[in-house]
Homo-oligomer: A and B are copies of this chain.
Amino acid sequence: MPEYETALGASSLKDITLLGRDLAEDVMGSVGFGELAFWLATQRRPTPGETRVFEAVLAALADHGFTPTAIVSRLTLLSAPDSIQGALAAGLLGGGSRFLGVTEDCGRFLHAQLPADLPTDDAGWDELALAVVTAQREAQRFVPGLGHHVHKEGDPRTPRLFQIAAEENLYGPHLQLFAAIGRVHPRILGKTLPLNGAGVCGAALADLGLPLELLRGFALLARTAGLMGQLAEELRHPVGNEIFLSVDLHNRSVAPDPYEPPAQHSSDAEGGRHG
């Protein structure tokens, strides 16, 4: 008979433990929600400074207004008002590569660039960043975390998160490299792009030592709180039906366009990803 090990929640007749602690006595009333989320994900209790940086990241990522995920949650609530869990889940499903993925991509990217021996001063970081940006450019790939479609002159979250991390002595190599990329990239790209908020959040989460495979998950946790805000507002000041009608009433019926498969050896053929 298999046994399933876990260090998370466990119950007996009289006790409930979580992460080896007594849930009622040692967690409830004394552990904040951000701290708890960090603890659950790493099985180690964060310091107050780590909690502050972590919660700053969650705040930065919680809500950005009418994003696709917010619209999706509101429309799902409109369509299935009996199922809050469905509206939340539908919203989270938009948390993929394009809108919420930058945080993870940036954290992973920066991590992959760090050498075993880290630079020890800004000049060293700039040198590393120059090599990184040059290599990406030569490979015709973007640098994750660079550029923003609205905040073209700078994303206000970025300097603030650098500052908070510095205050807590958590300005580690991922943030160092990210900052250096911000300094040097104009020399290679010929234009100045902002370091965006999603990217700096990925760098900060990586410096907190959180699992790189789960960085997107923290963005989703933050977004869950944001979607609760969206749903609460939708219940009181609904816009979902108006959004639906703005689309439905402006549909235009067109003739079918039969699909033709691409010719063999088309340029988007890339081989088996899992092959």
Contacts and interface: CB of A to CB of B under 8 A. Distances in A.
Q: Which of A62, A242, A269 has most chain B Cβ within 10 Å?
A: A62
A85 B80 contact: yes
A229 interface: yes
A10 B173 CA distance: 31
Nearest to A58: B33
A83 to B, nearest CB: 5
A47 interface: no
B84 A63 contact: no
Interface residues of A, number: 170
A19 interface: yes
Interface string A1-37: 1111111111111111111101111011101111011
B228 A218 contact: yes
A108 to B, nearest CB: 6
B229 A40 contact: yes
Contacts of A100: 79, 85
Interface string A238-269: 01101110111011111111111111110001
A152 interface: yes
A13 B89 contact: no
B89 A255 contact: no
A170 interface: no
A29 B58 contact: no
Given A111-B269, A217-B88, A251 B6 contact: yes
Interface string A93-116: 111111111100110110111111
Contacts of A9: 62-65, 226
Given A4-B251, A65-B8, A164-B28, A92 B81 contact: no
A44 B258 contact: yes
B11 A160 contact: no
A129 interface: no
Given A92-B89, A228-B214, A36 B16 contact: no
Contacts of A7: 233, 253-257
Nearest to A274: B105
Q: Which of A6, A15, A159, A242 has most chain B Cβ within 10 Å?
A: A6
Nearest to A70: B8
B236 A257 contact: yes
A97 B274 contact: yes
B272 A11 contact: no
Contacts of A260: 209
Nearest to A64: B9
In the A-B complex, the 8 residue pairs with the closest CB atoms: A80-B96, A40-B229, A112-B269, A33-B34, A79-B94, A109-B272, A44-B258, A89-B89
